[in-house]
Amino acid sequence: MAGLFDRQLQAEAYANGRPTYPSEWYSKIADLTPNRTLAWDVGTGNGQAAIGIAEHYEQVIATDVSKPQIEHGIPHPKVRYVHTPPSMSKDELASLVGGEGSVDLIIVAQAVHWFDFPSFYSLVNHVLRKPDGVIAVWGYRHVSVDPVFDPVMKRFNDIALPFFHPSIGYLEDSYRRLPFPFESVGIGSEGNPLLLDLPQETSLDGILNWLRSWSPVNTAKEKGVDLLSEDVVKEFEAAWGGPSDMKRTVIHKAFMIAGKPRI
């Protein structure tokens, strides 16, 4: 799916528009691993999850198949960004993170639904430290502001839905159908994700940046459809109830599953 995020402007919109994750999430996940030597952030994007988890681990390897995303990675002394093109083999990826049993924690933020599950989970089982290594995946899909704004967002989502990749289905049902063949560690489980609210103070400009980072917005544009036309933006502005740079509380509906290899 690298091509969906390889456009330079889209990578910039992604870096500027995505919500941040609370520090409590990283603390809770890190508490699951007795060893905190190495974490691997897969599908890192601009690295926001990598730098968050770096507060708890000696080193973080942050990888992404998209070179523009890696180029927008947020610098951090403990984080090493690596471009991993789709042509890279499983053996090469395993070697990159130190080989079998080398990784204490694997995290995937808003990305695992893109992956080849059997191949990725086989690699996870190979590189996680036994018996205490943990994988945690999370995502978010819908947002809520208020009864005026929410229907406008829903209409936009419904219009954009046909342009999404089929993997959007995993986000639509909050990872309930996501294959996750790992032993539960108390943070969700296969078929039963932990549901979380992800509040953020943001402006309408921030929301529009987030929407511009959506792959279907760019897919639709290539097909001659402008999902964020001037009329659509005006509808968002009217529902916002103030200047576009005025900040309001936006709730992203998030979900998380964590587990460890079954031995």
Q: Tell me, what CATH number does 16's domain have?
A: 3.40.50.150
Token duo for residue 232: 């659509």
Q: What's the average model confidence in pLDDT over 9-14?
A: 46
What pLDDT is stored for residue 262 in this prediction?
92
Q: Is the pLDDT of residue 202 over 80?
A: yes
In a domain, 20, yes or no: yes
In a domain, 113, yes or no: yes
Token duo for residue 161: 């839905």
In a domain, 98, yes or no: yes
In a domain, 153, yes or no: no
Which residues, 6 or more positions from 248, have their beta carbon under 8 angstroms from its beta carbon?
A: 145, 201, 202, 203, 240, 242
Number of compact structural domains in the chain: 1
Token duo for residue 212: 């511009």
- φ, ψ of residue 83 to 5 degrees: the values are -80, 125
Are the C-beta atoms of 119 and 149 separated by less than 8 Å?
Answer: no
In a domain, 35, yes or no: yes
Q: d(Cα 197, Cα 138) in Å, to the nearest integer?
A: 12
CA atoms within 13 Å, Cβ hemisphere of 145: 18
In a domain, 68, yes or no: yes
User: What percentage of the chain exceeds 90 in pLDDT?
Assistant: 85
In a domain, 92, yes or no: yes
Q: Taking all residues of the chain, what is their mean pLDDT, rounded to a whole number?
A: 92
In a domain, 174, yes or no: yes
Q: Model pTM greater than 0.85?
A: yes
Boundaries of domain holding 16: 2-143+165-199+252-260
